[in-house]
Structures are given as structure tokens and as C-alpha cells.
Amino acid sequence: MRIIRLAVLTALTAATPALGQDQTRQQDRVRDPSTHEPGAVPDQDRLRTRDQDQLKTGATGEATLTKKAGATEQARSQEPARIKEQTRAQVGGGQGTGDQARARDKSSDRAQERARDRQRDRAHASGQGGGSGYRGGR
Amino acid sequence: MLAALAALALLADDSGGGLLLEGAVAAGAGYDGGAALGPGGLGSTAGTVSAAAGAAVDLGESMGLYAGARLDGLYYADVADLSRTEVTGEASAEVELGRLALAAIPSGGWAWHGDPSRDGPVWTGRLVLRFRAAEALALRTSYAHASRGAADPVYASEWDRLTAGVELRLAERAFISVWAGAGWGDEVIYVPVTTAAAAAKGPGGGRSGGGGLAGSLPVKASAAERKAGIDLELGLGGGFHVELGATLGWVESEVADPIAVFSLLGQTGWRF
């Protein structure tokens, strides 16, 4: 069994370069009009060449499409994060990058902290040192 | 007040900063054991409401101004004469120098009481020094002078007060404050009618009180107060919070033995 498998593999290995050479030779013939065999119809050759070119273009187009599809997939996977950032930026008062939005968030936190500090400061000296809103006492 | 807000708006425009609206509303209830001062103290259950709104502007990173209006209501169930509603205009100028901040806070307004003879203007001037020792730890010390006018001069008073406190942030929206203060000024002591005649010959005198103060006479006297307290604040998110405050202290005066005062009040509010 092993011997048969080896024989098949050897035969295939030997046959592949030969097939490749044959193909290359045929393609060269198609591309180079000077190698036309007598009796060949140049128009048909040109058509074949054009077909092959179209095929190539098609392949390239497919590659482009694949690339585009990949990019779309990537964009789709990034979409929730982007929307989140954009929403945050818009809530913060305009569009901006994530860094800008974060900076605005931080600035907003700081503003709230300052407002609370001011409120506690005002309450502190009013007789209730703890700074609660209650300003009781006589 | 409108002029102050307009000035702030202009300053905000000049400095390129925004005019920030801020404020708070709160309501609460509890027991005030020092609602009125007399032998043994005259306590009462109490309800409180407060509302404040104003505009602040940051002038650069180190200076801020605020102007706003404030309403404080304190309503006693057992001594209705002392219940009061105060409406004041309030401003503050704050300078920050690194971790240190100094705020000057003048305010003025009018107070209405259950007993109209106590109605009158209220003026206060406050200075607060805040030191942020760490992100979660703030130390405050303050001086305040308060002047209360009244239709009946017995109820008018001048007060000076020094307070120092520590505020610690326990969690993102949970704070605990511990503070102590000392004050000096005019106090109204309610003395029993039997001793009122002698007291009236002293620094001040008055007529018999009403409501829970019946059978006693208000006597104006120089007094000193020592008070300490603890305050817990728990943020509920969205600016809502609950607070619980307790105070304990005593008042010394020329006309009575030291009188113990205490209070326990809880409230809930919303800050924006």
C-alpha cells in the first residue's frame, strides 16, 4: 500500500513541472504573435488574450472585492465602539475623537467636582460644619 | 442678583469659559434638641427644606466666581415661633493655589419667622480655606460672621464662628465629614418666668414666649457655643443623594448653666 502511494506521489511530482511548462508555453504563444503557428488566426488569438486579460482583471476585481469585504467586516466590527465614541463626543458638545471625548468627560467630572466643592464650602461656614444642606440652628 | 448674573455672563464670555448653572434642592426631617435654649434645653422635631440655584464661571484654572439665590426653611413642630423661612442672595469668589483654595462668601437676605417680631434682615460673611490633602481627603476651616436683625431687638444678634472639618471620600459617591466649631455672640435664652425679673435687669429682657415657649421669657445674653458633628453623604447617582447629620455641643451664657444641644437630621436631595 505504501509502495503504491509512493509511486503515485512520484508520478505526480514528475508530471507537475511538465504540465506547468506546457501551460507556460501555450500562454507565451498566445501573448507573442511572432510565435504564431502557421494557420493560426490572429484575431482568435487576440480574443483569447483579451479573454485571459479580462479573466485577470476579473481576478483582480475579485481580490479588490475581497479586500473591500474584509474592510467592511472590520468596519462593522468597529462600528459599536465608533458609534459609542461619536455619541459621547456629540453629547459632549460636538464631534471629536475618543481622546477628545475622554478629555471632555474628564473636564466635565472636574467641573462637577468643583461645583460640589463650592457647595460644600458655602455650607461649611454656615453653622453646620459637615457641610450638609441643612442650615439649622438658632 | 440679576446684575451679578449679568456680570458673570460677561466675564464668562471674556474668559472664553462657560457659564455653569448649578444648584441643589433638599428636604429632610429630624430632631433638634437645641431649637431654643433654656434650662434643660427646648427641643422639637423639625422639618427642613432648602433650594439653591446660581451660575458659576471658572476664570482660568485657578479662579471661580458664583452668584445665586437660596431658600432655607426650618420648621419646628413644637416651637412654631422659631420656624423660619429665609431667602438670601449668595455669591462666592474662589482662588485655588495648588491644593489650597480660599473662598470668600458674602450673602444677604430676609428671614420670616413664626413669630413676626423675629423677622428681619440676615447678613453673613464667610471665609473658607480648603486644603485637598489627597484626592479623597479635604480639610476645611472657616470663619463666619452673621448678623440678624429683628423687629424686636431682643431677637437681633451678631455671631462669629470658627469651624474646622475633615471630609473623606469613602467610595465614589460616599462621603463622611467630621467637624468641630466654636462660636461667640448674642444668644436668646428662655428663662422661667420666676427668674425672668432678675434676668431682665441684666443684658437684655423681653416678653413671654408663645407656643412651646409659654411660661418663659426670652433674655438676650452673650454666649459661647462649642459644637461638633458628623455628616454622612451617600450619592444615589444622577445627582441624587441622602445625608444624615448629627451634632452635639453646649452653650454657655451669663444667665444660665451650660445647656447641652444636639440634633439628628436626615435629608435627601438633588444636586445639579
- The pLDDT value recorded for residue B9 is 57
Give the closest of B52, B229, B271 to A130, CB-based.
Answer: B229
Q: What pLDDT score does A43 carry?
A: 47
Query: Using a CB-CB distance cutoff of 8 angstroms, which residues of chain B are in contact with residue A119?
Result: 22, 24, 52, 271
Give the cell for residue B216.
418663659
* A136–B265 C-beta distance less than 8 A: yes
Question: Cβ distance B75 to B64 under 8 Å?
Answer: no
Burial (CB count within 10 angstroms: exposed 0-12, middle 13-18, buried 19+), residue B16: exposed
Residues A58-110 pLDDT 10s = 444 444 444 444 555 554 555 555 444 444 444 444 445 677 777 777 677 77
Beta bridge mates, B55 = B21, B67
Bridge-partner residues for B264, per DSSP? B31, B246
* Chain A residue set in contact with B, beta carbons under 8 Å: 111, 114-122, 124-138
- Chain B 26-65, residues with CB within 8 Å of chain A CB atoms: 26, 28, 32, 34-37, 46, 48, 50, 52, 56, 58, 64
Residues A89, A97 contacting (CB under 8 angstroms): yes
pLDDT averaged per 10 residues in sequence order, chain B, 272 residues: 57 63 92 84 89 90 91 92 93 94 95 95 94 94 93 93 94 92 91 64 49 78 93 92 93 90 92 86
Strands B120-134 and B42-59, bridge-based pairing = unpaired
What is residue A8's predicted lDDT score, i.e. its pLDDT?
55
CB contact under 8 A, B265 and A121: no
Taking an 8 Å cut-off on Cβ atoms, the answer to whether B126 and A125 are in contact is yes
- Given this model, what pLDDT does residue A5 score? 61
Q: Do A138 and B26 touch (CB under 8 A)?
A: no
pLDDT of residue B103: 95
3-state secondary structure of A120: helix
* Percent of the residues in chain A that have a pLDDT greater than 90, as a whole number: 0
The structural domains of chain A, with segments of one domain joined by +, span 94-119
Letter for the amino acid at B225?
E
Are B213 and B207 in contact by the 8 Å Cβ rule? The answer is no
Of residues B34, B64, B267, nearest to A118 (C-beta): B64
Q: Whole-prediction pTM value?
A: 0.68
CA proximity to B23, closest of A128, A118, A108, A104: A118
Helix or strand run (H / E) with residue A36: none
Three-class secondary structure assignment of chain B:
CHHHHHHHHHHHHHHCCCEEEEEEEEEEEEEEEEEEECCCCEEEEEEEEEEEEEEEEEECCCEEEEEEEEEEEEEECCCHHHCEEEEEEEEEEEEEECCEEEEEEEEEEEEEECCHHHCEEEEEEEEEEEEEEECCEEEEEEEEEEEECCCCHHHCEEEEEEEEEEEEEEECCEEEEEEEEEEEEEEEEEEEHHHHHHHHCCCCCCCCCCHHHCCEEEEEEEEEEEEEEEEEEEEEECCEEEEEEEEEEEEEECCCCCEEEEEEEEEEEEEC
CATH of domain B2-10+21-271: 2.40.160.40
Q: Assign A3 a pLDDT band (cuts: 50, 70, 90).
A: low
Query: ipTM score of the complex?
Result: 0.73
Task: For chains A and B, count residue pairs whose Cβ atoms are closer than 8 Å.
Answer: 135
Instruction: Reduce the DSSP state of residue A112 to 3 states and report it.
Output: helix
Q: Are B159 and B185 in contact (CB under 8 A)?
A: yes
C-alpha cell of residue B146: 452673621
Q: Which residue of A has its CA nearest to B268?
A: A133
* Residues in chain B within 8 Å Cβ distance of A138: 34-37, 82, 187-188
CA–CA dist B59, B127 (Å, integer): 19
Write down the pLDDT at residue A7: 61
Q: Which of A115, A134, A137 comes nearest B267 by C-beta?
A: A134
CB B32 within 8 A of CB B265: yes
Do B67 and B91 touch, CB atoms closer than 8 A? yes
